[in-house]
Structure 1
Amino acid sequence: MYLSMISDEPSPGEGLPRHVQDLIGRQLDGLIPRMDTVDADTRLGRALLRLRAALLDAEAERQVTKAFGDELIALVPRLRRFARMRTGNAAEADDMVQATLMRAWERRSQFQDGTNLVAWLFTILRNTHLNQRKRLRREVEDVDGAFAGALSSAPDQEHRVALFELQAALNDLPEEQRETLLLVTVDGLKHEEVAAVLGCQVGTVKSRVSRARERLAMALGLS
């Protein structure tokens, strides 16, 4: 009983009980499609083959470390999911990841070993998308398409309705709260990493996540 009471308490800086925070996290995680497997016969797949070969050559010439190359490749699924979340389109997301990897390769000398590669890559990807949006004069980020796969494969009507409700509640959040919440709960970045990606203070990240969770909980009748 005592352990149950402890597990239900809010974490520091959060107004919601832990079980509600966890429930929101699981629902959001199930809403955004995972993109773990890259088809070798695609532009991204072929780009990854070239990148692996280039990394091996660069490692032999001591331009990069093996750890850098291994982590860069290992982060591709997370980059694809982040890109899919931002673009709402699988093909466009893969093009964005390919552009991100190209920029990371071109700027490999700027990365300092021992610093945070996750935050570095996510920053490059986010800036790439923001620049594309500016060029296309898009003022509002359309995230609806990112949920199409999850909605079309929902096992039953009740689940589909729940996903639509979650999507609607998520879309109603201010953009900065939505992006920060998804970076923490879906992409799994630490608060410090998110702060580096977004160029804000850690306290701002925590505040946005807390407010976003509270608004989602209220919209979904969880509070």
Structure 2
Amino acid sequence: MDEQDKPGAQRAVIAQLLPELRAAARMLARSRAEADDLVQETVLRMLRGLPGFVAPPELAHDPQAALRPWGLTVLRNTFREGWRRARRERDHLEANPPEEEAPRQTDQESAHEVRDLARAVSRLPPSMREALMLVCARGLSHEAAAQICGVPVGTMKARVSRARRALANALAPVNA
């Protein structure tokens, strides 16, 4: 591919990655709206960063294989930035509470297992949720997920194991 066609081809590959980015964002975010915002911000950052993107030599022949890990990394970093921002805002609100707090609205309780699973996953710490999403939901190897997250393989395996255990405990039937 010549240099003039390269940006257009890379944009087309990013468009092909949208379903995967949406699925990954859905695993990280607590709602569809948050996931959509996360994907939108990720795509904007990827488009802004395209001129400086250099594919690894071993993946230079396959643009999708080259852009996929980068896109997931951009998504993860964007999520983490938002999570840190929300934590700072939450800490600020705790330090300066409003005069009177309104009761929190909760979703209608449901017996649907999928909704229960989604809630349990959303309660996991971000690092465990991310590990679970990459290895279990996306089907990446522990090694590939560890590379995307920039952690040792053993750390990735431990995060996945702890996330699975936490989900099993959260979804276990309550015995009175």
TM-score for both structures, normalised by structure 1: 0.52
Structure 1 match to 2:24: 82
Matching residue within 134, 139, 157 for 2:84: 134
How many Å apart are 1:167 and its aligned residue?
Answer: 4.3
2:55 partner letter: Q
Q: Could you tell me whether the CA contact under 8 Å between 2:28 and 2:122 is conserved in 1?
A: no
Q: Which residue of 2 aligns with 1:213?
A: 164
How far is the alpha carbon of 1:173 from its aligned partner? 4.1
Q: 1:98 aligns with which of 40, 43, 52?
A: 40
Per the alignment, in what secondary structure is the counterpart of residue 200 of structure 1?
coil
Equivalence map 1:153-172=2 (5 Å):
158=111, 160=112, 162-163=113-114, 165-167=116-118, 169-171=120-122
- Aligned equivalents of 1:89, 1:102: Cα separation in 2: 20
Ranges in structure 2 where 5+ consecutive residues have no aligned partner: 60-64, 92-106
Q: Is the CA contact 1:170–1:216 (under 8 Å) kept in the aligned structure 2?
A: yes
1:22: which partner in 2? none
Residue correspondence of structure 1 range 1-223 to structure 2 within 5 A: 61-64=4-7, 66=9, 68-108=10-50, 109-112=52-55, 114=59, 116-136=66-86, 137=88, 158=111, 160=112, 162-163=113-114, 165-167=116-118, 169-171=120-122, 173-221=124-172
- CA distance in structure 1 between the aligned counterparts of 2:122 and 2:30, rounded to whole angstroms: 13
- What is the DSSP-based 3-state SS (H/G/I as helix, E as strand, rest coil) of the residue aligned with 2:70? helix
Q: CA deviation at 1:79?
A: 0.9
AA at the equivalent of 1:96 = L
Shift of the 78–174 alpha-carbon distance from structure 1 to 2, 3 Å rule, reads same
Q: Deviations over 1:60-97 (max 9, x none)?
A: 7144473x444322110111122233332333332322
Paired residue total: 149
C-alpha distance in 2, partners of 1:69/1:76? 11
Residue deviations 1:89-120, cap 9 Å, x none?
33333232222112212212323151642221
Residue 9 of structure 1 corresponds to none
Q: CA RMSD in A?
A: 3.4
